[in-house]
Amino acid sequence: MPRTSVRQEPSAAALMTPRGAWADDGPAFAAPLEMWLDLTLLNRTGLNQVLERYALPLEVATYFQLRFQSPKVIAVDRALFLVTSVVAPSPRQLFVPHELKLCVTPTLVAGLYARVLRTQSPIGSILSQPTDVPSGGVARFVWKVLDGVVASYETVATTIPNHALARKGTEDQRVWKQRVAALVEVIGQQQVFLYNVARAGRKVGVDAQHEERVALDTRLERLLRSIDEVRHTVSETRTCFDTVDQPMRSTP
């Protein structure tokens, strides 16, 4: 699946590209069969022009410009619009979420995401791949991106113990528990999101093999169990320290 990175104004890039397979004014074979459009560096005008050039539904431009509070799977005419969160470790906040949006059709994946994700492994290497991407088409590429999303949760989870040790007081521990609970909620949302992608994706050809989705779901379940074990261990350790540190009362 060739990757096309849109790095300049559409007048120089997109407008010179033949219309997509759904265009009414040209043959379907004029455009690449499958492609990846990186929309990250475009302004609003450029984004609208590129999406129009590839004959995507008008609603897609609006969705790309909205901010969402939770993962979404939206069927839009002949396309599927996906919104999810990639997380990055944060020494102060445990994790920071970064929104990732994908518009998927049978022949195209268009993505908009925070630029910082290009420096985060492994999702960065997936989003900034060279022209020759692994075979498998649109479906394979989308699920590879979602694999990178799951990997970001796994990376953050490895920082949970150290984050707990950095929190000394009772108030700090309370904040730590809240942030871990927030991470657990995000992971749970991702499980629902992956299920909905697999179900709705059949209409546009991005449904995964059963084993692929199950494998990601299994990783998320394993991650939730691991986080729960860490929370239990930290709680027991904190209780032990609190008992040892209590001053001995003198007998009158």
Domain annotation covers residue 19 = yes
Q: Is residue 84 part of a domain?
A: yes
Please name which of 89, 90, 72 lies closest in space to residue 81, comparing C-alpha atoms: 72
pLDDT tens digits along 45-78: 999 999 889 888 888 999 999 999 999 999 988 8
Average pLDDT, the chain: 81
For residue 34, what are the domain limits? 3-245
Q: Is residue 107 part of a domain?
A: yes
∠30-36-41 over CA atoms, to 5°? 115
Q: Which residues of 53-71 are buried (b: 16+ CB within 10 A; e: fewer)?
A: bbbbbeebbebbeeeeeeb
Nearest to 159 by CA among 109, 207, 218, 227: 227
Looking at the structure of the chain, the number of domains it has is 1
Position 40 in a domain: yes
Mean pLDDT of 144-168: 91
Q: Is residue 172 part of a domain?
A: yes
Per-residue confidence band for 203, with pLDDT thresholds at 50, 70 and 90:
confident
Would residue 77 count as lying in a domain? yes
Q: Using the predicted structure, report yes or no on whether residue 224 has a pLDDT greater than 50.
A: yes
